Amino acid sequence: MSIHLGDVAPDFEQETTIGRIRFHEWLGDSWGILFSHPKDFTPVCTTELGAVAKLAPEWAKRNTKVIGLSVDPVGSHTEWAADIADTQGATVNFPIIADADGKVAALYDMIHPAADPKVTVRTVFIIDPAKKVRLTLTYPPSAGRNFNEILRVLDSLQLTDHHKVTTPANWQEGDDVIIAPSVSDEQARALFPNGWKTLRPYLRLVAQPR
């Protein structure tokens, strides 16, 4: 099945490196990052899991749980974690799903037969506390994922969920944002009493709300 933005993320029960979990129950009221890799002991993904582990304080600040996935069994994941710690200088501090039967890969459309019918493609899903899918990304096997970009989008989603704004190209935390088109100037005066800069009637820049 294809997963679209706004869909409820499919729930599942599967073995992981922390034991058997039910996904929605494990997420609780947190945001979630689900990311897959083709198989264990692959070079690009070794660097990625190390990068994700090093970002643990950033995920925590954003009330976000991360979880990896591949088709290999738990024992393989555990052995791989030792390599990751040794080569990347980071202990894997999040669970990895052992999707040996491909159940989760099928639910999340992670098997692309034209790429490889036996392994999962390298996908990322951001899931909000209502269990809605808010972002999907699919990467080629040769390009490592940019988890700073995933943090940036997470910041944008959390900001724009609480304020009537959107974020412009290349936005970073603290930059000006855009007043949402659905907000009239009259409404904007109440929401943003310090004013804003109008570049076009549809493009109004304002300081990022805190």
Q: Detail the DSSP E strand segments found in the chain.
A: 13-14, 21-22, 31-36, 64-70, 96-98, 122-127, 133-139, 165-166, 177-179, 197-200, 203-206
Inter-axis angle of helices 147-162 and 43-54, to 10 degrees?
40
C-alpha–C-alpha distance, residues 64 and 126, integer Å:
9
Instruction: Compute the C-alpha angle 173/175/179, nearest 5°.
Output: 110
- Of 9, 27, 45, 98, the catalytic one is 45
Residue type, 183: V
Count of CA atoms in the C-beta half-sphere (13 A) of 28: 6
Active site residue 113: no
The three-state DSSP-derived secondary structure of 115-158 is CCCCCCCEEEEEECCCCEEEEEEEECCCCCCCHHHHHHHHHHHH
**Which of 182, 174, 176 lies closest to 202, judged by CA?**
182
Which residue numbers are catalytic?
45
